[in-house]
Chains A and B, each alone.
Chain A
Amino acid sequence: MGIGVAAISAFGIVAVGAFALEEAGEYAFEELTGIPVIIDPIDVLEQIAKKGGKKFAHEIIIEGRKFAKGASVQQLQTWANNVKTFGKKAAEDLELGRYSISSLKSAINKSISFSSKNSSGHLIKHADVFGFDKVAKDLQKKIPQLQEAATNFVQNADEIKIGKWDDTFDDVTFYKKGDSYVVKDNKTGDFITAGKGAAGSKKYNAATKVEGK
């Protein structure tokens, strides 16, 4: 763990545009997060910077530095996963000018939350998406299980897209598994809703697929 913390500290002070990651740090990252360093977040950040998003890359590093203090493995894992998942897309989109930097930053920094005050109603309403009987009367007592199932759904999504829900939201993230999907508000990280039959949704079809997912 000592090497890991050192690596994360180093990670935080890396200068924008100079993302060389030392071998020891790379090893420590893998050790700390359990994430194989196939596509390293550092590489992704470097790619973003090269494509003109230096400020964006810098802001993401600053965000990552916050986790170094508490050394929360779970937060770091989420952050690193999001950098890898959305970062490659960010680099492309920055080049093409498709999405705003603030929206992509939110997608990376805001992991989906199923614990906001109004989330339980949406979880119960769409319990069948997460493998529960949605007419069951006792779903109020199963909120922790629903939250866990929803988290698993997102973590095992076979397709991720960034798009729009309606004009009351900024960008949202769609996590699709099979033909069902979960929607996250990129601005707050809040779970918005879930649906079945993604192929029939113009909102889903109009969204842009995140590379590699």
Chain B
Amino acid sequence: MNSNILTCRELINKKVVGIIISVFPPLYEENIENADISINLELDNGKSYTLTTSENQWSCSIISERLVSKYNFSDFETRMKFWMHDEQAEFLPLEYETYNVASSDILGSLLNSQIIKAEFLNINNSQEFNPHGIKLYFETGEFLISTCGHDGNTIQTSKFLEGRDLINRFKSIGKTELIKC
């Protein structure tokens, strides 16, 4: 069985008590949607998992790890604008930045909410189970999609980087089906 399935099941019926966003600086990207953004969820059982994309730029990956945040998510927008537009940005070292999400932030609605269901995003035209994303459903009605992006991973909720049809973005490869984990 795919190890992601087993790990995914550990998320069900757990409450999210902490969120850290990991982002690679989107140096001179025109669109924040092109940034490599992953999400780390700390659960009420003391475990933490990062939802991200493997180095093959396709397969979704759920990694059990605890991240340490360097910034507050309230600084996220300002820092992303710096990386995308500031002339000085190209002179600074590039490394993944971690942001701690507070309940007042745009992603804060996921905090203290229980994950009630999880589904994998998988192309249905092959026998191989190689999901390229995961969708979590919360008791509050909120959702979280984590899937492969422009370069790395991207995430989406009803309020964060919303408006993209991430489920159906690989129509040219095949139809995406949602498979309950």
Contact = CB atoms under 8 A, between A and B. Distances in A.
A213 interface: no
A125 B34 CA distance: 13
A121 B56 contact: no
Interface stretch (B2-10, B38-46, B62-70, B91-99): B91-99
A201 B58 contact: yes
A202 B132 contact: yes
A200 B54 contact: yes
Interface residues of A, number: 30
A167 B57 contact: no
Interface in A120-165: 120-122, 124-125, 135, 137-140, 164-165
A192 B150 contact: yes
B172 A164 contact: yes
Q: How large is the interface on B (under 10, 10 to 19, 20 to 34, 35 or more residues)?
A: 20 to 34
Query: Most chain-B CB neighbours within 10 Å: which of A118, A122, A167, A202?
Result: A202
Nearest to B25: A121
A163 to B, nearest CB: 8
Contacts of B55: 195-197
A201 B27 CA distance: 25
Contact of B170 (A125, A166, A198): A166
Interface string A185-213: 00000001101111111111010000000
11 contacts: A118-B27, A122-B151, A124-B94, A164-B173, A192-B151, A195-B55, A195-B58, A197-B56, A201-B57, A202-B170, A204-B58
